[in-house]
Amino acid sequence: MAKKPARPNTDSTTGPGGETHQQVPHDADHGDAGAHLTTNQGIRVADNQNSLKAGARGPTLLEDFVLREKIFHFDHERIPERIVHARGSGAHGVFECTRAIPELTMAAPLQEVGKQTPVFARFSTVAGGAGSVDTPRDVRGFAVKFYTEAGIWDLVGNNIPVFFIQDAIKFPDLVHAVKMEADKGYPQAASAHDTFWDFVGLMPETMHMIMWAMSDRAIPRSLRTIEGFGVNTYRLVNAQGQAKFVKFHWKPVLGLQSTTWDEAVKIAGADPDYHRRDLYEAIETGNFPAWDFGVQVVDEEWAAAQDFDILDATKLIPEELVPVEIVGRMTLNRNPDNFFAETEQVAFCPANVVPGIDFSHDPLLQGRLFSYLDTQLKRLGSTNFHQLPINAPKCPVMNFQRDGHMQMGVPKGRANYEPNSLNEAGEPGGPRECPATGFSSFPAIERPEAAREDIAKVRLRPELFADHYSQARLFYASQTPIEQAHIASALVFELSKCVLEHVRTRVLSRLRNIDDSLAQRVADGLAMPLPEAAPAARAPVEMAPSPALSILAHGQPSLQGRLIGILFDEGSDKAAIDKLKGELEAGGAAVLLVAPKVGEHALKGGKLKAHGQLAGMPSVLFDAVASIIMPDPAAKLAMDAAAKQWFMDAFSHCKTIGACPATRKLLAGLGIEPDEGVVEIAQFAAVAPARHWDREPKVRMLA
C-alpha cells in the first residue's frame, strides 16, 4: 500500500469539471500535539477555514453545521452588561483571620486565627458602561465573594461608607438620573449634568454622599489604595443566638491615595484601562494588594441612644465613637484566567450570607436583597448561574431545585421534592433540613425591651432618617483645607455643566446646610448669588471632626507599591540611573524607564533600554518622576511638546520631581519655580512619592 502523502500547506480540490480550486493557505502544525478542534458537541472539525459551498463560487449550504454553530455562538457572546458597576476588574485571593471573634459571630471565616478562606474580589465604577474608562469621578464598587465551608458569603459594598438614598424604592430614579440623559445618550460615566444634579437638589438625603463623591475619594490613584465598606448595617450572630449590629470595613495595607481631577482626566486619555492594568500587573509581578478587614460592632442600646439612625444608609458610625477592630486580611494573589468567565460572569448578592451573618431592617439593604438575585437571571440567562465555576460554592450543594436553562448537574433518583418517603422504600430520599446547623434568621424586633412598639406595616421612614446634613457636615469638617478646596472645586466643575440655573441654585441652598463657607466658595466659582438655605426636615447636630475620614490626615504615602518614572536620553549617566532605580525598588516601588524613543540607548557607562516612549508614558501615570539627562538632550526636550507637558503635569499635580542640573535648567525654561518638591536626585528616593499640596494654589484656580 502506498504511503499517504502529507497534506501540503496549500491544498487544492478538483471541481466537477476537472478544474482545480486552491484553498486558503494554513499552518498545518499550529496546535497542541494530540489536540483536535471540535464543535461544541465534540465532533472533530476537518476544516476551520472554509464554509461549505455548492461549488467554489456557489452559495453557502445551510447544512454546514460547523459554520452555523460557530456563528451562532459568536452572535451570542455578549451578555447584557450590569446596569450599574458594568466596568469592573477582579482577582482571586485569600482571606486570613487575624483575630477570631466566635463570641460575636458563627461566621466560618472568623472562627480561628490563621484560618484561610478563598475569595474573589471585584472592583468597579458605577455610572459608566463596560467600555468606559477607569478614572472618572465616581463611586467604586468593592465586592468580595467568600467561598466558605458553610457556603457563599457575598459582602457587596463600595469605597464610600454611605449612599445617596435611604430607601431602595428610589434606586431606579437615582440610576436613571446619573446615567446618560435619556434624550441625548450622554454624558457617559459622568455625573456632571442636569438630570443628576436636579435629582440631588430635590433629594436632600443625598447631601452626605455628595460630599464624598465630590471629594478625592471618587478619583482614586489605584484600586489597591481604596477603602471598602459594606455600606449597610448588618448583624453578627453568635452560637448562643445573641446579635449585635455591625458595619464592615476594608482598609488598604498600602494606605489611601487619590489623583487630582486634572490627572484623572489625562490618565483617561493616556490609558483608559489604568486601574485595570495597575491591578493586573501588580498581581502578575508578585506585589499582591491586601486589605485589613475590620468591624464596627454596637448593640441595640447604643444604637438607640444616638442622634442618628444606624439603619440609615446615608449615615456612618464615626470611628472616633466606635473604633474599627481589625479581624482579618484579604490578599489578592491570582489574576483571572479568563476575564469573561470570571470577572464578567461573577454574580454577587447581599442575600448570600452564612450562619453568623444576618440582615438589619435597613430599607436600602432590604431592596438589595431582592434586586441582585433578580438581576442575575437577566444577565446570565438562567436560574442556574450559581453553577458557573466562579459562582459555585466550594462546599457540597444538595437540594431539590431542578431543570432550568443550562442545567449542568445530573441529579439522580425519583425524588425532586421534600418531604418525601422514598428512602423508606429503599431508594435515596435526598437531603433534609437541619435545624441545629442551618441558617436561622435573628428575631425581627430591633429595639430594647423598653422601646418596643406595636409593629405596623407603613410607608414611613424613622424620624432620625430626616437628618440629612449632620454627617455631611462631619465629613466636610473632617477634611484638611486642601481636601475642602478639592470638594469645592469638584462641585463647581460638576454644577457648571448643568444648563438649568434652578438646579444649581437648589444645590447651593442645600450646601448652606452643610457649611456656609463651602456654599459661598461654590457660588463664587459659579458667579452666582448665594441663595437662602433650604429648609431642613430635621435640624443638624454638631459632631466632632473625624480624622479617619480624611485621606491627607493619614500622612504621606510610603514608596511601597508606588510607580515611579525615570526620564533619560542619549548620554545620560547609567550609574546614576541604576543607583536611583535600586534605591526606589529597595523601598518597594516599581520603576519604569522613559525616553523620547523606545529601544536601546547609548549612555555614559553603558547601554539601557526604555520601558516606554515619552509621548506614550505621560507623567500622570506615575506617583513621582525623576529626570537624569545631559544638557544637549535637555535642550532638545525643551522644544518637545510631550516633554514639556510631562514636566508641567508632574509639577501641576504636586508630585515630587527629582531633577539633575540639566533638568533644573529645562524646568526654569518652562517657567517652573523650584520648591521643596523639586529635589536633587540624591534626595529623591527619600521624598517621593509625597504630594506637595502647598504648590497647588500656584498652578490652578481652586474654588
Mean pLDDT of the chain: 90
* Angle at 135 (CA atoms; ends 133, 137), nearest 5 degrees: 115
CA neighbor of 414 nearest in space, from 423, 398, 405, 383? 423
Residues 203 and 129 in one domain: yes
Mean pLDDT, to the nearest integer, of 471-497? Answer: 97
Structural domain count, the chain:
3
CATH of the domain at 149: 2.40.180.10
Residue with more model confidence, 29 or 222:
222
Last residue of one domain, picked from the residues 553, 572, 592: 553
Q: Give pTM, 2 decimals.
A: 0.86
pLDDT of 168 > 80? The answer is: yes
Known catalytic residue: 85?
yes
Residues 346 and 479 in one domain: no
Cβ atoms within 10 A of the Cβ of 658, count?
A: 25
Mean pLDDT, to the nearest integer, of 190-205? Answer: 96
Judge whether 431 lies within some domain.
no
* Angle at 641 (CA atoms; ends 639, 645), nearest 5 degrees: 120
CA neighbor of 116 nearest in space, from 108, 125, 124, 105? 108
CATH of the domain at 491: 1.20.1370.20
388-402, 415-429, 678-692: the lowest-pLDDT one: 415-429
pLDDT of 99 > 80? The answer is: yes
pLDDT of 449 > 60? The answer is: no
C-alpha cell at 474: 462631619
Q: Which of 21, 48, 85, 193 is catalytic?
A: 85
Residues 131 and 254 in one domain: yes
Q: Which of 158, 352, 391, 420 is catalytic?
A: 158
Residues 206 and 288 in one domain: yes
Residues 213 and 322 in one domain: yes
Are the beta carbons of 622 and 664 closer than 8 angstroms? no
Known catalytic residue: 249?
no
Residues 509 and 621 in one domain: no
pLDDT of 29 > 50? The answer is: no
What pLDDT digit, counting tens, does each position of 540-582 carry?
A: 999 999 999 999 998 888 999 999 999 999 999 999 999 999 9
Residues 544 and 641 in one domain: no
CA neighbor of 162 nearest in space, from 306, 309, 301? 309
- The whole-number pLDDT of residue 457 equals 67
Residue 451's pLDDT band, with cuts at 50, 70 and 90, is very low
Q: How far is CA 644 from CA 668, 675, 687, in A?
A: 11, 18, 23
Q: Domain span at residue 473?
A: 465-553
Last residue of one domain, picked from the residues 553, 588, 606: 553
